[in-house]
A = this chain, B = another copy of it.
Amino acid sequence: MSVKTNRESDVLRKIERAFRPQRAGANSSLRVSIGDDAALVRLDSNNEEILTCDWFLESTHFIRDKHPADSIGWKCLARAVSDVAAMGGWPKCFLLSLALPESHTGQWLDQFLGGLRRVSRKLKCPLAGGDTTRRDEILINITVVGAVARGRAVLRSGARPDDIIYVSGSLGEAEAGLRKVRSAQGRVNPKAAELKKHLYPVPRLELGQWLAEKRIASAMMDLSDGLSSDLPRLCEASGVGAKIAAALLPLPKSSSGLERKQSDLLQLALHGGDDYELLFTASRERAKKVPRNFRGLALTQIGEITSARKILLVEGIGQERKLVAGGWDPFRNAATKK
């Protein structure tokens, strides 16, 4: 009998179900596995290990003839490290799995490795190994190994009713950049300022570590698929709901020029993916310690956690409506089709 599923979360649930008896079993060093930004493994030391892997595939996550190879190299590692930032940890090393057409083993590969090496140095996350193979399409998979002080990892599941909800930076700029790339003829200029956040995202490692170390965040995740997709995940993991205010969202500062109206910018901020900002919650007491600005990065209160398990958006003068996920879901859309 064939069970039809059509969403990433359904596939994940199936995998989780298949391995549940085992994970609850003997191997107690696995503290968190499926269902958070990354896995946590207890080490024999003061630290826990963070494990995460990420697909980065032609046509799904980038467009071969439009995205600069240098930015593909940068972004594939940056977005994987973002999952480590989302736990409050730091990266230790990464593995690169790369499948390439013969035609891309020359200049393209050099530029790809150039971008990858720059971000690897910036994030202090050296290459530890990997696997290469030939393939008609460009396929990338990145595994990042990170660490976090024992007991300090911030999970998705810690949000409690009345906690304040925060986001770092601004939301929607990466999506605006993607639109610009899609509408471009041929490969875009990697130095264009309005594309920076889309092409060269920077994981919020310092912020994540600070929030974990000071025990300020009760729950945390990174925004990879868009607020309207990711906030429900955090709430589901925590068994809570949320109410956010449209007027509080940090809208894109730069945009593709295609969005003129305020409502377009709001849609970008709500549903745009690939920002790699941090979404976190803090109790009202701990929230007093959260500055408006952390080392140059804005931290914005966008709403609060509720006990009612709904995700509500407050618009205008207090009208509430259910927030419907419009962000990234690979089983629904892809970079080229969205």
Contact = CB atoms under 8 A, between A and B. Distances in A.
Interface string A31-60: 001100011010111110101111101001
A39 B144 CA distance: 13
Nearest to A102: B6
Identify whether the interface residues of A are mostly helix, strand, loop, or mixed.
mixed
A49 B49 CA distance: 11
B46 A131 contact: no
Contacts of A116: 18
A126 interface: yes
Contact of A55 (B11, B47, B133): B133
B93 A4 contact: no
A29 B54 CA distance: 24
B127 A23 contact: yes
Contact of A15 (B44, B96, B99): B96
A63 B297 CA distance: 49
Interface string A55-75: 101001000000000000000
A132 interface: yes
A331 B102 contact: yes
A3 interface: yes
Q: Could you say how many copies of this chain the assembly holds?
A: 2
Contact of A30 (B27, B102, B114, B126): B126
Contact of A128 (B1, B39, B110, B127): B39
Contact of A141 (B2, B11, B49, B141): B141
Contact of A41 (B19, B38, B105, B128): B128
Interface in A99-137: 99-100, 102, 105-107, 109-110, 113-114, 116-117, 120-121, 124, 126-135
Interface string A197-237: 00000000000000000000000000000000000000000
A290 interface: no
8 closest Cβ pairs, A-B complex: A2-B106, A39-B129, A44-B45, A39-B128, A133-B330, A18-B113, A141-B141, A143-B143
Given A51-B145, A95-B51, A57 B133 contact: yes
